[in-house]
A and B are shown apart, each in its own frame.
Chain A
Amino acid sequence: MLERLLSDGYWFMFIQVVTTTWFMPMMLFVRLRNASNSYCREHAISAFDEVSSLLAGRYLMLKVLALLSLILGLVVVGHAYLSQTELFNWDNQAGLVVLFFIALIPGLWISKVQSEVIDTIFANSGSTRTASLVATPWTSYVSKTLIALLTLGQLVFVVSVVYFVSNPFSGFAGYTNLFGLVVINLIFLAVCYFALTHKKLSAIEDPGHRHLLKVKNLRFNLIAWTVAVFYLSLSLWLSGLALKDYALLLQSFYFQFVVFLTLFTIALPNSDQSESGLETNVLR
């Protein structure tokens, strides 16, 4: 059974396209809409009507974008399946990356909508701004376990590269792989910095809610970062052990996992989660 599934390796590509271009964006948007409405109803009532009508309009546009992405993805995979060639008549691994980027189109749209929601709340927030006078150490944003895992992931990758430099396989790029790790680290660091210092977050009136939103964003980024680093090591080993089919499967699931993760982060905090101000560390 497993052999048959692996020999017909297009099934997970179809799954990736359908989940990442349609199901996840729709679920993500509904989650964002519910959280935004709930937040506005309780904490920013003056922005409620504006946010509701904004989301209604954007939902229609999202459906169009998601549908176009879905059709595009299905055409690409369908063509490869019918002609029994690799994706784009090129390379399955690179093709999966392209499919992932296609799936990012609705995701980026939702991210823009979220930004618009925060802008709208900001514009309606009045002239009073509130902040906590309690210092929040970095450990209140991210768990030490995640940091330890991330560090471990980096070490495993470096050790893997060093190992494969001594035992290279066909197509192995040598120490250049470490440059890739540095680039990934820089990108994720920049995203984490932005998540912490985004000025429009002052629109979130309750410092506890604001803290929670930062925690969620940072946690998402750190998990994606950690998974990305471990994925790099795993794909190295799978390539090194000549298990390309598993590498493709892994890559596909990884992309779906990253989109799935956003479901739990791109949203305003639920109104019932942080009435206790900054004492949200228990959520870690």
Chain B
Amino acid sequence: MSNPQISINVSSTEPIFEQLVSQIKNAISVGHLLGGDSLPSIRQLATDLGVNAKTVAKAYRLLERDEVIVSRGYRGSFVHQNAKSNLQTDIKSWLEDQLAIDIKRYRDSGATDSEIRIAFSNAMHGKS
């Protein structure tokens, strides 16, 4: 029986939560983890890796959002039944694509980068 493992580099410039997300996705894509398999608890993984539990929680939250894993309360987290097909979901690059389209539109209408940045910041912080 295979024993899938995860290895992170705490000195890497890549954030730890992103390393966790990509490695868990990788374990699923190569078939080390199958739909329905249970994952270690947030605390257990954080302890074993010597990282903050909030970092692992963030990675799990993102994987859950992308329907790669599913949380079942006190029973823990499990690999989603459709995890393999959901691995392609990449909200980050979708968001970057959408923003690039929008920014091009603003620039075409004559807005400067500075105005776009300020407007974006105001919108993000709920200012009109």
Contact = CB atoms under 8 A, between A and B. Distances in A.
Interface of A: 122, 127-136, 196-203, 207-208, 210, 277-279
B5 A131 contact: yes
> Secondary structure of the A side of the interface?
mixed
A201 B49 CA distance: 9
Nearest to A276: B3
27 contacts: A122-B50, A127-B12, A128-B8, A128-B9, A129-B8, A129-B49, A129-B50, A130-B49, A131-B5, A131-B40, A131-B48, A131-B49, A132-B3, A132-B40, A133-B4, A133-B5, A133-B27, A133-B40, A134-B40, A135-B44, A201-B47, A202-B47, A202-B50, A207-B3, A207-B5, A207-B48, A208-B3
Nearest to B76: A135
A197 B10 CA distance: 19
Nearest to B53: A197
B41 interface: yes
A132 B44 CA distance: 10
A132 B5 contact: yes
B6 interface: yes
B45 interface: yes
Nearest to A137: B38
Contacts of B1: 279
B73 to A, nearest CB: 14
Contacts of A134: 3-4, 38, 40
B24 interface: yes
Given A132-B48, A202-B47, A127 B4 contact: no
Contacts of B128: none
Given A127-B10, A131-B49, A202-B49, 15 more contacts: A127-B12, A129-B49, A129-B50, A130-B48, A131-B48, A132-B48, A133-B33, A135-B41, A136-B44, A198-B47, A200-B50, A202-B47, A202-B48, A202-B50, A277-B5
Contacts of B87: none
Contacts of B45: 131
Contact of B3 (A200, A210, A278): A278
A197 B7 contact: no
Contacts of A197: 43, 47
Contacts of A199: 47, 50
Contacts of B50: 122, 129, 199-203
Given A133-B40, A135-B41, A135-B76, A196 B47 contact: yes
Most buried by B among A131, A134, A278: A131
Nearest to A204: B48
A127 B50 CA distance: 11
In the complex, which of the residues A122, A135, A136, A196 has the most CB atoms of chain B within 10 Å of its own CB atom? A135
B10 A129 contact: yes
B11 interface: yes
Contacts of B103: none
Given A127-B10, A127-B11, A127-B12, A132 B4 contact: yes
Contacts of A279: 1, 3
Nearest to B78: A135
A23 to B, nearest CB: 35
A277 B47 contact: no
Contact of B40 (A135, A198, A200, A201): A135
